Amino acid sequence: MAFQGIKSRLAELPTLTAPKAREPLVVYLAASERTVSAVLVVERNGVQTPIYYVSRTIADAETRFSTLEKLVLSLLQTARRLRRYFQGNPIHVLTNYRLQNVLSKPELSGRLEKWAIELGEHAIEYKPRPAIKGHVLANFIAEVPQEKQEECRKEIEPPVDQQKDEVSKLFTDGASNDEGAGAGLRITNPEGQHFTYAIRLEFKSTNNEAEYEALLAGLRITKKLGAQHLEAHVNSMLVANQIEGSYDAKDDKMVSYLAQAKALMAAFATCKVKHIKRSENKQADALSKLASVGFEHLAKDVRIEVLAAPLTMNREVYVCSMAETNWMTPIVTYLARGILP
């Protein structure tokens, strides 16, 4: 009898279904301290059947959002994840929070303004929640205990040691002064190979813009090198915190840079951006300063000579007359005037 009871319960569990074209869809939202979630359902003959579940753990900075902001964030994540459904069907969001009133305020600023603009492209109608129905599904996703989330994460993520062995590291720095702007990059792949780049920016830019340019260039180059897991280290606290979400990007240029950085980061399997001190990023800092200085007077190839001992030490030197011509004359001419033999 117990076995038959389990079978009957399992047979009654809701199964996912596919929506029809232009069919109205219903979204339930939920938010907890550490997670936001949503469930997309379709109602047919008075029965709500789930179509898709969306859930994610929020970043540390996002935990300080208000409940209303977390719900808007949940809706935004759902719209991005299920874009094909949001563009092809009318969406009804059932919630007791006044999301529509907040998102339609003309005096919105910061993150809510950006979210309202992004959500404005979809045909979304906000309605009060008449009954729980499918909302319990969204609540279930949001309220999974933290221990269970860690267990699930361990099952789907490779071991930390394995990830660590496959991680590429990127160090970037940007510099801007009266003579120009430049970016310095240092990349280390999982095999331990090092790559360095100095990039000259032939346009006016602030320090923050130069820092973003360095990060964007580093992300592009690292992706071309075939990296899947990346740790990016930047000197700018503003860039690191804007990407993390604890700082808002209010300037138009910063908003554009931030959007492009996140788009490039999404191309990696995992990508983290960390802020480090300038003293921990000396190589990239030196490269950025070199590129920021006007170098029209320098040759394209800069050779570096390493001196193991001071030049003042006594050495035997062969002295020859510059007037006479011998086998050394072409070499001396090349070293003195750059004329090839």
Q: Is residue 194 part of a domain?
A: yes
Regarding whether 175 and 142 lie in a shared domain, the answer is no
- If phi > 0 it is left, if psi is from -120 to 50 it is alpha, else beta; for residue 220 that is alpha
Regarding whether 251 and 141 lie in a shared domain, the answer is no
The 10s digit of each residue's pLDDT in 252-263 is 888 888 888 888
133 pairs with which residues across the strands? none
Regarding whether 234 and 139 lie in a shared domain, the answer is no
Regarding whether 137 and 169 lie in a shared domain, the answer is no
CATH of residue 179:
3.30.420.10
Q: Is residue 341 part of a domain?
A: no
**pLDDT surpasses 50 at 156:** no
The 10s digit of each residue's pLDDT in 39-81 is 999 988 888 888 998 998 888 888 888 888 899 999 999 999 9
Among 6-15, 53-62, 126-135, 148-157, the range with the most confident prediction by mean pLDDT is 53-62
Mean pLDDT of 323-333: 82
Q: Which residues, other chains included, contact 245 with Cβ-Cβ below 8 Å and sequence gap of 6+? A: 59, 61, 62
Q: Is residue 333 part of a domain?
A: no
Mean pLDDT of 5-27: 85
Q: Is residue 21 part of a domain?
A: yes
* Euclidean distance between CA atoms 76 and 119, whole angstroms: 7
Q: Which of 93, 122, 150 is the last residue of a domain?
A: 150
Regarding whether 130 and 24 lie in a shared domain, the answer is yes
Regarding whether 257 and 213 lie in a shared domain, the answer is yes
Q: Which of 150, 179, 209 is the last residue of a domain?
A: 150
Q: Is residue 7 part of a domain?
A: no
Regarding whether 206 and 145 lie in a shared domain, the answer is no
**Alpha helices for the chain (secondary structure H):** 2-11, 67-81, 83-88, 99-103, 111-119, 135-142, 146-156, 160-165, 207-224, 237-244, 252-265, 282-292, 329-337
Domains in the chain, number: 2
Regarding whether 222 and 180 lie in a shared domain, the answer is yes
Return the pLDDT at 93.
93
Regarding whether 238 and 139 lie in a shared domain, the answer is no
- Looking up tokens 């071991």, which residue turns up? 159
Q: Is residue 5 part of a domain?
A: no
Regarding whether 94 and 63 lie in a shared domain, the answer is yes
Regarding whether 136 and 17 lie in a shared domain, the answer is yes
On whether the CB atoms of residues 56 and 35 are closer than 8 A, the answer is yes
Q: Is residue 126 part of a domain?
A: yes
The 10s digit of each residue's pLDDT in 290-317 is 766 655 555 455 555 655 666 555 555 5
Regarding whether 188 and 167 lie in a shared domain, the answer is yes
Q: Which of 150, 170, 192 is the last residue of a domain?
A: 150
- DSSP code for 58: P
* Euclidean distance between CA atoms 186 and 196, whole angstroms: 5
pTM above 0.75, yes or no: no
Q: Is residue 66 part of a domain?
A: yes
Range of the domain at 253: 162-292
